[in-house]
C-alpha cells in the first residue's frame, strides 16, 4: 500500500510569489493533517481535515495560507504571496477514522523563500 506522498520535494521561490504544495494521503484515511517545521524548531500543527471539511485550522499562521481538500482525497496548501518567514519543511500526515490512531507522515516539502 502506498504511503503518504507529497509534491514537490523541494521548492525555491522568490518573495511575493505563489507556491502550491500537494499531499496525497493513504487511501481511505479520513483525517489529513498539515504541519510545518521552521528553522530547526519544533514541528507545528497547521490544520486538520476530516474528509473534505476543515476540522481545525487554528495553526494556520495568517490568511496568506489556504488549504483545500478536494473530494476528501488529496489536499493542497497554497501560500500567496510567500514571505521569507514561510521557509521551512511542510509535512502532511494522514490517519484513519476516529480515536487515537497513528499518523502516517509524508517525506515533507522543503520550501525556501528567497
Residues that bind other proteins (CB under 8 A): 3-4, 31, 33, 35, 40-45, 48, 50, 55-56, 59, 91, 93, 95, 99-108
Chain centroid, CA 53 distance in Å:
15
Q: Measure the CA–CA gap between 73 and 30, rounded to whole angstroms.
A: 8
CB of 17 to other proteins, least distance (A): 26
CB of 13 to other proteins, least distance (A): 22
DSSP the chain: ----EEE-SEEEE-TT--EEEEEE--TT--EEEEEEE-TT--EEEEEEEETTEEEE-TT--STTEEEEEGGGS-EEEEESS--GGG-EEEEEEEE-SSSS-PPEE---EEEEE-
Query: Which residue number, 14 or 41, has a Cβ lying nearer to other proteins?
Result: 41
Query: Which residue number, 15 or 101, has a Cβ lying nearer to other proteins?
Result: 101
Query: Which residue number, 17 or 55, has a Cβ lying nearer to other proteins?
Result: 55
CB of 74 to other proteins, least distance (A): 17
Query: Which residue number, 19 or 33, has a Cβ lying nearer to other proteins?
Result: 33
CB of 3 to other proteins, least distance (A): 8
Amino acid at each position: 500500500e502506498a504511503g503518504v506522498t507529497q509534491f514537490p520535494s523541494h521548492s525555491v521561490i522568490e518573495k511575493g510569489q505563489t507556491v502550491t504544495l500537494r499531499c496525497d494521503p493513504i487511501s481511505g484515511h479520513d483525517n489529513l493533517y498539515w504541519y510545518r517545521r521552521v528553522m530547526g524548531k519544533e514541528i507545528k500543527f497547521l490544520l486538520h481535515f476530516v474528509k473534505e471539511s476543515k476540522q481545525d485550522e487554528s495553526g494556520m499562521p495568517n490568511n496568506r495560507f489556504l488549504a483545500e481538500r478536494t473530494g476528501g482525497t488529496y489536499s493542497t496548501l497554497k501560500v500567496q504571496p510567500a514571505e521569507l518567514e514561510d521557509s521551512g519543511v511542510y509535512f502532511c500526515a494522514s490517519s484513519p477514522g476516529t480515536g487515537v490512531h497513528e499518523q502516517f507522515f509524508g517525506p515533507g516539502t522543503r520550501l525556501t523563500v528567497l
